[in-house]
Chains A and B, each alone.
Chain A
Amino acid sequence: MSNTPYDTLPDEQFWSRAVTGKTPPAVNYDPAPKLRFDLRTEKFATAGSCFAQHFARELVARGGQLLFTEQRHPLVEEEAGHGYGLFSARYGNLYSTLQLRDLLEQACGDRPPVFDFAQREDGRWVDLLRPRAVPEGFSSAEECRADRRYHLGQVQKLVRDCTTWVFTLGLTETWMHAQQGHAYALCPGVAGGRFDASVHQFRNLDFHACHDQLDAAIRLLLRENPGIKVLLTVSPVMLVATMEARGVLQSSIASKSILRAVADACAREHAQVDYFPSYEIITGPQARGQFFDVSGRDVTAAGVKLVMDSFFATRVHGVPAHAAASDAPIPHWSEAIQDVSAALDAECDEILLDRRGSADGTAPR
């Protein structure tokens, strides 16, 4: 019998031994992690799509230290609507790699701040680059401007102060300003502003574009914070709507496949970048779809729990004895926890696309 390179490989590298016949929790999803994290010293920053919010919540619930550089000022009432605690700073959902690069370049002074504001029907003003990040909006464009400047400063502080930047890649489909080139979180008009076809341009980032944006963002993070670790995940949450002339399921899989490939490439190219397979845990055939809710689009709490159980099992050490999964009481180590919990009750803002579409019977354009 001839020897082959496969003969000495561990069980995890064979489907029949790693997956077949195993329940989802019994699978070792992450047998060879490049980066590991000491919970006692690690300071995480989270950004990305709405799945990153789940990650943030579970991380905090299990004793992780999530940095918040933008926090509610004591003069601001303690109620929902201010957008604090959802992510480490009030950038809202960063769905695309283009958005991430835009934000980091503005925050770190590589490009001038983008001031693209609009007045809502209720008279409040929104920053179109993060229209849902501050749900209550602003009293004026002047306040939008001041807050954006402050926000960018706090993002830069976050980049410099964190030890691990967790980024969840969400979408390839995005909207851009045709002349200025900046990316929007949502199509203008969905959550503020007015859509203008001569200004607002749809773009579906292919692998190369996606990769170039993420690579540039990673280089910027490393330049600002040479010791930083970057952990990439891909959101398993499917698209609410697609602008491509094809089915949303097809677009979803295409989008997620590109993002997954980009994450893989960047993790190979940078020593301080790694990928954690939350996408595979939720969407892999071993799960048999059980971690999607009835819509088949969003992830269940059990799915999130399994992702975090896996993450803590293979990546994390120094976990405090009292830390437990999210069904245990959340430790009151920080006021921010309360904010996170409250904020997570809010929906992913991409859902606005569908809500609006069903309200007037048309897809957003």
Chain B
Amino acid sequence: MRKIALIGQSHAVAVLDAIADWRPQLALLDGETHDNFSESFRGWFTVNTGGRMFRLVPRPGFEAFAGMAVCLLNRATFHGELATIRKVDGGRVHIGVSDVLSTFIEQVRGCDTLISIIYGNEQSDMALTSSLPEYDFAPFDEPAAGQPIDRIHIANVMSQFGSLVTAPLACLRSALPAAKILHIAPPPPLLDPGIAARLEGFGAEVSSGKLARPSLRRKIHRTYIDVLRAQLERLQVRVVEPDYDAVCEDGYLRPAFADGLTHGNRAYGERMAMRIAQLIEADA
């Protein structure tokens, strides 16, 4: 039997909802809700696992995840980042590891498959809360809107976001040199944020119209994934893209698959879970 582990943050909720009835194991059912978030996030705001894991009992149809150990992390409940990369003397790279990630690493040794659904909303923050002067980057809108910025500068910003994912996965790759590691990319943006029933932390921006235009949000998301893939390829970590069926032809998330402004819902999670299951089975 395969040993599968999952480490995830808020984007993991949709996938977990698809796979199992997992909330009782974290005693989330009696937790608080928040006006800006759907019922899916009940209890999320205070969940504090400290990096410890629980075992998932999958629903029928998701047996590929049988026995999967899950570590769910709410960023608000630990200080700093999961891991940080910095250059030290001589150009060497030093990776600092947080306590929660250390705890997780100790538990996953021996795993043959690791699923990562960490971070991913930083690019949404950039696109949605942008107070920046109008800008555009390739492929440019027609006509181009605002100041054109060379893609290397956008990629540099995305690279910083990507390093939030890359640093902990570098630690995990070190601990699991032979494991199959999959990183699940966040869903693309909605074409019209106004249709989101829950605006998460972006209510003020949506109501005031201070949102980047849709094409820019879509391009930022695309660049984020491209940069992330380039970074993670070096770690032999596969990036799993948003499910095609959940995405419109023009690249936006179909409203039927959205939970709030930036997250996928259970239907989205089901699509992603099926893709993940296929990838777990592949070459097994």
Contacts and interface: CB of A to CB of B under 8 A. Distances in A.
A73 B150 contact: no
A149 B144 contact: yes
A146 B157 contact: no
Contacts of A136: 150, 152
A136 B139 CA distance: 19
A76 B149 contact: yes
Interface stretch (A31-39, A137-145, A176-184, A327-335): A137-145
Nearest to A148: B148
B208 interface: no
Contacts of B133: 73-74
Contacts, number: 47
Interface in A54-87: 73-77
B109 interface: no
A331 B156 CA distance: 31
Interface string B221-238: 000000000000000000
A295 to B, nearest CB: 35
A150 interface: yes
A77 B149 CA distance: 11
B66 to A, nearest CB: 45
Interface residues of B, number: 18
Interface in B131-165: 132-133, 135-136, 138-140, 144, 147-154, 156-157
Given A73-B132, A74-B132, A75-B135, A143 B148 contact: yes
A142 B132 CA distance: 23
B140 A142 contact: yes
Nearest to B133: A73
A75 B151 contact: no
B149 A73 contact: yes
Nearest to B157: A75
A139 B138 contact: yes
Nearest to B155: A139
A75 B153 contact: yes
A74 B133 CA distance: 8
Nearest to A125: B150
A150 B147 contact: yes
A143 B137 CA distance: 8
25 contacts: A73-B132, A73-B133, A73-B135, A73-B147, A73-B149, A75-B132, A75-B149, A75-B153, A75-B154, A75-B157, A76-B149, A76-B150, A136-B152, A138-B150, A139-B138, A139-B152, A142-B138, A142-B139, A143-B138, A143-B148, A143-B150, A146-B144, A146-B148, A149-B148, A150-B148
Interface of B: 132-133, 135-136, 138-140, 144, 147-154, 156-157
Given A73-B147, A149-B144, A149-B148, 8 more contacts: A74-B133, A75-B135, A75-B154, A76-B149, A136-B150, A142-B140, A143-B138, A146-B140
